[in-house]
Amino acid sequence: MTGQKITLKYVLYGILAVFFTWIIHEFVHWATSQLLGYESIMRINGVSPADGENPSNLDKIIISASGPIVTILQGLIVFILLEFRNWNKYLYLFLFTAFYMRFLAGLMNFLNPNDEGRISSFLGIGTFTLPIIVSGLLFLMVYKISKKYDLKWKFQLWTTLIVMVVSSILILADQFLGIKIL
């Protein structure tokens, strides 16, 4: 039987998983921008060029791709660990958060293209092609692990709520407070 009890420790790990996933995702965008020679500003939920910086279209695509690539790698590493080792509900949070983050970003393309949506548009394959592929891939990983360990609906619901609430707090804090990290 897999441990699926929701405890305070699980909630705290959920908070950690969301913060880690968001910060590493945005940090990689920022680092890529810096490595390409552009000064940029990193916030909790976004990276933007500093005043006067205007990356080329190709550099914008490279910067846009870097964050999702790291998030996909996070999901893949956790998937492999869960697939070939024993169940770890705390580790599962890092897979689920990667899926949730990219799925939510895909939905946000209806309002404003971001990351995969920008890359899809740049490649001329439609705004939603890459977001659907990335979200689908991460969903398949979540689904396969959920099936393998017979994860119950209550566990999945609580995991979703924890990730959703913490993600929403991060996103709203960024929108209203605009906290500059780097």
Instruction: Find the angle CA(95)-CA(115)-CA(139) to the nearest 5 degrees.
Output: 30
Model pTM?
A: 0.93
Whose tokens are 């305070």? That residue is 8
Residue 179: the pLDDT is 84
pLDDT in tens, 146-178: 999 999 999 999 999 999 999 999 999 999 998
Whole-number pLDDT of residue 2: 74
Residue 173: phi and psi, rounded to 5, are: -60, -40
Q: Which residues pair with 42 in a beta bridge?
A: 47
Query: Can you give the pLDDT at residue 178?
Result: 85
Which residues, other chains included, contact 120 with Cβ-Cβ below 8 Å and sequence gap of 6+? 113, 126, 127, 128, 129, 130, 131
Backbone φ and ψ for 180, nearest 5 degrees, come out as -85, 125
Residues of the chain where predicted confidence (pLDDT) is lower than 50: none
Domain boundaries defined on the chain:
8-177
